[in-house]
Structure 1
Amino acid sequence: MIGIFDSGYGGLTVFKPIIELLPEYDYIYLGDSARAPYGGRSGEVIKKFSEEAVEFLFKHGANLIIFACNTASSLALRHVQEKYLKGPNERERKILGVLIPVAEEAVKTTKNGHIGVIGTKATIQSKVYETEIHKLKPHIKVFQQACPLLVPFIEENWHKKPEANSILKKYLLPLKSTHIDTLIPGCTHYPLMIGQIEKYMGKKTKILHSGEITAGKLKEYLERHPEIDSKLAKNKNRTFFTTDNPRRFKEFTEQHFGMKIKMPAQIELG
């Protein structure tokens, strides 16, 4: 089974492209909405929350986990990989993130060597996108902007309101003057505002979609690793868990993603 973990609804922007590209697999989705957003929390707390999510997903049958959360990928992915994938579990289980595939795609996409990144405070302060991009092309200029209010707006389903547009413009304004031709929405919640972002940044800036990129990379990964693929159930089952308000989770999923789902089970982590 493939497990997908996010701090809330944002991971659904990764989940949907994955199930569209790889519909035959069984999936389990965990959204930690009760503790969202993760972006303003300390690294130690993010690691703790990520450990709890990983343990839950492994306990419920996941063999491969996707960290569909940039904040968790930035600050906790390597930590949980080292903790849970050592010894006999190394070949049986895998934990992957969204960050490196997106950084690789940004390097391929840019023509002028100017890449922008928007994300939570934790992701931006980690400078992990800048680090990964410079591993590939040291000369590329990376311009980053923290957008701490966007995730709360999206989690509250207020992201189409004028107030959200006003705040988004303030966040993007500094990036407009840097002449970036490629923008990484470094949070999986942000594709829910992709139309507003594209409208403000204009046609000369390519906005990357982490969900589509991750789905493609996952497909390639499973093709390269038949020993992992063979362990994944393929019955087209989808199971959803949330740490808060399952009815709202269901309504949000159906409204914004057009996916009819069963009522998620509410669980408590920690």
Structure 2
Amino acid sequence: MSTHQAIAILDSGVGGLTVAKEVMRQLPRERVLYFGDTARAPYGPRSKEEVALFTRQIVDYLLQFDPKMIVIACNTATAVAIEAIRTNVSVPVLGVITPGARAAIKQTKNGQIGVIGTEGTIRSGAYVTALRRISPGVKVVSLACPTLVPLVEKGMFRSEEASDVVCEALRPLRNETIDTLILGCTHYPFLADRIKRCMGEDVALISSADQTARDISTLLSHTGQLESSNEVPVHRFFCSGDPRTFQWIAQDWLNEQIHVTPVMWQVPKFI
């Protein structure tokens, strides 16, 4: 396998751009292929069967570009589909739940960790399992926040409305004694400032993006696949919904000009 192959990153929408940004920062020589399934976001309210099908569709699409690894930068898809994807592809497949859990265990001082995520992620219990696998005695408080992803997908993450919606969504956590909060959806770092304002300075926020990028770097180094070229990498972006909205959000978040290729699915889908 060549070191010049790209890292493929997929998400239900724009959330995985938080992971892509960290990969581009920590591994500036690597090429990124990014797919956002914006036409069918959010994945959180959908059934396991739907999420598994959609994830497999995107992986199959990205495999045509011969990537050196697949990164499922969607917590819901990681919880539901990662093991099946690993079984059926020949390249490494990384998710975002274990890295986030590991970072939270390192951060907490009182052993009380909060997790916010989509309905699907929270319902799966994947973070509770991952956290207790590392530290069996940890206390975990989980909360589904289904109103947050639509704010980000609409590009409203800096609006005053976003502040109100975030504080209302997090209200059940305000009386908990957690000292660490996992942003268990890759969309949520877009709202990190507002989440921090609502939870207070004493609660550390954990985004899986940084640790996931570190895991990617470690794996590529171990397998001798780190990109060695000094050429400026050309990243490629694909989305299944409105490319204009995706492009605007991506350029704002990544702080660079990009081109987006729209992809229209030719297979039946649950809508």
> TM > 0.5 between the two?
yes
Q: Distance in 1 between matches of 2:192 and 2:150?
A: 16
Mapped to 2, the partners of 1:24 and 1:166 lie a distance apart of 40
When structure 1 is superposed on structure 2, of 212-221 and 177-186 the one drifting more is: 212-221
Partner of 1:24: 29
1:233, distance to aligned residue in structure 2 (A): 8.5
1:119–1:186 CA contact under 8 A, matched in 2: yes
Q: Which sections of structure 2, spanning at least 5 residues, go unmatched?
A: 1-5
Work out which of the residue numbers 240, 263, 270 in structure 2 matches 1:267: 263
Residue of structure 1 equivalent to 2:252: 255
Kept after mapping to 1: 8 A contact 2:147/2:169: no
- Give the TM-score normalised by the residue count of structure 1: 0.92
Equivalent-residue separation in structure 2 for 1:70 and 1:233 (angstroms): 30
The 4+ residue runs of structure 1 with deviation greater than 3 A are: 232-235
1:78 to 83, 92, 112: 83
Q: Determine the structure 1 residue equivalent to 2:144.
A: 146
Which residue type is aligned with residue 218 of structure 2?
E
Give 1:17 deviation, angstroms: 1.0
Q: Give the secondary structure class of the aligned counterpart of 1:60.
A: coil
Unaligned 5+ residue runs, structure 1? none
* Residue among 128, 131, 136 paired with 1:130: 128
How far has the Cα of 1:159 moved from its partner? 2.5
CA shift digits 1:179-226 (9 cap, x unpaired): 111000000000000000111111111101221121122112222222
Structure 2 equivalent of residue 3 of structure 1: 8
Aligned counterparts of 2:252 and 2:172: Cα–Cα separation in 1:
32
- Higher mean displacement: 216-225 or 124-133: 216-225
Structure 2 CA distance for aligned equivalents of residues 9 and 27 of structure 1 = 14
Q: 1:108 aligns with which of 106, 109, 113?
A: 106
Superposed displacement of residue 97, structure 1: 0.5
Q: Which residue of 2 aligns with 1:195?
A: 193
Q: Counterpart in 2 of 1:223?
A: 221
| Residue pair 1:119, 1:145 contacting (<8 A) in 2 also | yes
Return the alpha-carbon distance in structure 2 between the equivalents of residues 141 and 9 of structure 1.
31
> Percent identity at matched positions?
37
Mapped partners of 1:267, 1:254: distance in 2:
19
Aligned residue pair count: 259
Q: Distance in 1 between matches of 2:201 and 2:53?
A: 40
Give the secondary-structure state (helix, strand or coil) at the position aligned to 1:265.
strand
Task: Report the equivalent of 1:98.
Answer: 96
Structure showing the higher helix proportion among its residues: 1
3-state secondary structure, aligned to 2:62? helix
Q: Distance in 2 between matches of 1:25 and 1:255?
A: 21
Distance in 2 (CA, whole Å) between partners of 1:164 and 1:111 is 30
Deviations 1:48-100 (A, max 9, x none): 00000110111122120100111101111112112x23xxx3xxx11110110
Matched position secondary structure for 1:34: coil
Give the match for residue 205 of structure 1. Answer: 203
Residue 19 of structure 2 corresponds to which residue in structure 1?
Answer: 14
What is residue 181 of structure 1 aligned with on the other side?
Answer: 179
